[in-house]
């Protein structure tokens, strides 16, 4: 067995460019050894090229850090397992996993092809579940061996599109909503083993968003501004924070409360009929007025004050 390296070890998926690259560099700056995973394809998931990930590894090594390249396709269950194994056999430990790899195949549901649907779900959702599964089994094994909870942390990448819905992104939004739900379930399942699981919904100028970001505001959404939250959530300083979803971008961080029941009503004689529901359901829906709706969350990230601020 490899003698464990004297620093925490993280895997960042999709770390060849964009947000993942910044997360990998920020973690290396914070003293982590980083497995830099990237398939290196285009923004729609086609093709592959190891160059970008190799460059990130070279940058980390040049600044005196520890990094290794990994070209696994995270949507391949077995390859994701080999990626986890690569980090553990190289450095003897694994402390953090940042599931960041993602692609876009934007289509309305009416125009969706089966390939667009399958690839988006494969990379964005299965590509989060597969590394998480293999890391979780590794950590559970470790925890059983030592008789103590491990101290490990996972950050998954959701999206405002999945949390609040976005026109034309039915496949992507479904996958990213799935990532948020997976985060909550995994946080509950892995708590006993000492693993925290959170998700971020980032806002950043990258090749995926450049075309919709006005030129003047691109610097404000530099992807490096998201990475401190990832470093924080991976670190022990995050205490017991787990099962949470945060929107992060520019100078803003927003805590998102998901899937919380807001309003309910019981049938007067123990049974609803469709007719009796008619006057009731609109009233329930009216009570759903959230504390901070998706529009105000996005406006807050873009600089508007919160109500009462």
Ligand X SMILES: NC(=O)c1ccc[n+]([C@@H]2O[C@H](COP(=O)([O-])OP(=O)(O)OC[C@H]3O[C@@H](n4cnc5c(N)ncnc54)[C@H](O)[C@@H]3O)[C@@H](O)[C@H]2O)c1
Compute the distance between CA of residue 23 and CA of residue 301 in angstroms, rounded to an integer.
Answer: 20
Site for ligand X contains 102 (CB under 6 A): yes
Site for ligand X contains 252 (CB under 6 A): no
Site for ligand X contains 18 (CB under 6 A): yes
Q: Is 228 helix (H, G, I), strand (E, B) or coil?
A: helix
Site for ligand X, residues 34 to 93, rule: CB under 6 A: 37-41, 43, 45, 73-75
Compute the distance between CA of residue 18 and CA of residue 291 in angstroms, rounded to an integer.
Answer: 32
Compute the distance between CA of residue 150 and CA of residue 108 in angstroms, rounded to an integer.
Answer: 43
Of residues 41 and 92, the one with the C-beta less far from ligand X: 41
Question: Residues 120-139: x/- map of binding to ligand X (CB under 6 A)?
Answer: ---x---x------------
User: Are residues 158 and 183 in contact, defined by beta-carbon separation less than 8 angstroms?
Assistant: yes
Binding segment toward ligand X, per CB under 6 A, in 11-19, 61-69, 263-271, 286-294: 11-19
User: Are residues 74 and 130 in contact, defined by beta-carbon separation less than 8 angstroms?
Assistant: yes
Of residues 122 and 150, the one with the C-beta less far from ligand X: 122
Instruction: Determine the distance from the C-alpha atom of residue 160 to the mean position of all C-alpha atoms in its chain, rounded to a whole number.
Output: 11
Site for ligand X contains 231 (CB under 6 A): no
Q: Is 172 a catalytic residue?
A: yes
Binding segment toward ligand X, per CB under 6 A, in 12-20, 110-118, 277-285, 287-295: 12-20
Instruction: Return the residue of 28, 91, 95, 100 that touches ligand X, per CB under 6 A.
Output: 100
Site for ligand X contains 202 (CB under 6 A): yes
Quote the least distance from Cβ 172 to ligand X, whole Å.
7
Q: Which residues pair with 195 in a beta bridge?
A: 152
Which residue's structure tokens are 């003293």?
Answer: 31
Binding segment toward ligand X, per CB under 6 A, in 190-198, 199-207, 260-268, 285-293: 199-207
Of 162, 151, 89, which is closest to residue 128 (Cα–Cα)? 162
Site size toward ligand X, by CB under 6 A: 33
- Number of other residues whose CB lies within 10 A of the CB of residue 41: 17
Site for ligand X contains 182 (CB under 6 A): no
DSSP output for 27-64: HHHTT-EEEEE-----TTS----SHHHHHHHHHHHHTT
Instruction: Return the residue of 13, 169, 171, 193 that touches ligand X, per CB under 6 A.
Output: 13
Instruction: Return the residue of 12, 19, 130, 248 that touches ligand X, per CB under 6 A.
Output: 19
Instruction: Return the residue of 8, 14, 65, 252 that touches ligand X, per CB under 6 A.
Output: 14
Instruction: Determine the distance from the C-alpha atom of residue 70 to the mean position of all C-alpha atoms in its chain, rounded to a whole number.
Output: 19
DSSP output for 218-272: TGGG-GGGTHHHHHHHHSGGGTT--S-EEEEETTEEEEE--S--------TTS--
Residues carrying an active site annotation = 172
State the residues that interact with ligand X by CB under 6 A. Answer: 13-14, 16-20, 37-41, 43, 45, 73-75, 100-103, 123, 127, 157, 159, 201-204, 206-209
């Amino acid at each position: 067995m490899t003698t464990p390296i004297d620093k925490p070890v993280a895997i960042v998926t999709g770390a060849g460019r964009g947000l993942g690259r910044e997360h990998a560099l920020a973690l290396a700056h914070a003293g982590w050894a980083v497995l830099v995973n990237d398939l290196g394809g285009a923004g729609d998931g086609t093709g592959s090229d190891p160059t970008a990930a190799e460059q990130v590894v070279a940058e980390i090594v040049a600044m005196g850090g520890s990094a290794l390249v990994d070209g696994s396709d995270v949507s391949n269950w077995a390859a994701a397992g080999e990626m986890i194994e690569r980090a553990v056999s190289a450095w003897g430990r694994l402390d953090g996993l940042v599931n960041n790899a993602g692609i876009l195949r934007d289509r309305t549901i009416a125009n969706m092809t089966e390939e667009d649907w399958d690839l988006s779900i494969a990379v964005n959702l299965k590509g989060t579940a597969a590394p998480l599964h293999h890391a979780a089994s590794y950590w559970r094994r470790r925890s059983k061996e030592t008789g103590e909870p491990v101290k490990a942390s996972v950050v998954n990448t959701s999206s405002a599109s999945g949390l609040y819905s976005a026109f034309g992104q039915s496949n992507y939004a479904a996958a990213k909503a799935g990532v948020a739900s997976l985060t909550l379930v995994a946080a509950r399942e892995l708590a006993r083993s000492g693993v925290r699981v959170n998700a971020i919904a980032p806002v950043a100028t990258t090749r995926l968003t450049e075309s919709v970001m006005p030129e003047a505001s691109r610097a404000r959404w530099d992807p490096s501004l998201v990475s401190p939250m990832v470093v924080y959530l991976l670190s022990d300083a995050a205490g017991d924070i787990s099962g949470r979803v945060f929107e992060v971008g520019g100078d803003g961080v927003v805590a998102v409360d998901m899937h919380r029941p807001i309003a309910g009503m019981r049938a007067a004689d123990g049974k609803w009929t469709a007719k009796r529901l008619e006057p009731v359901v609109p009233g329930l829906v009216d009570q759903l007025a959230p504390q901070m709706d998706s529009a105000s969350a996005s406006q807050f990230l873009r600089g508007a004050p919160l109500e009462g601020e």
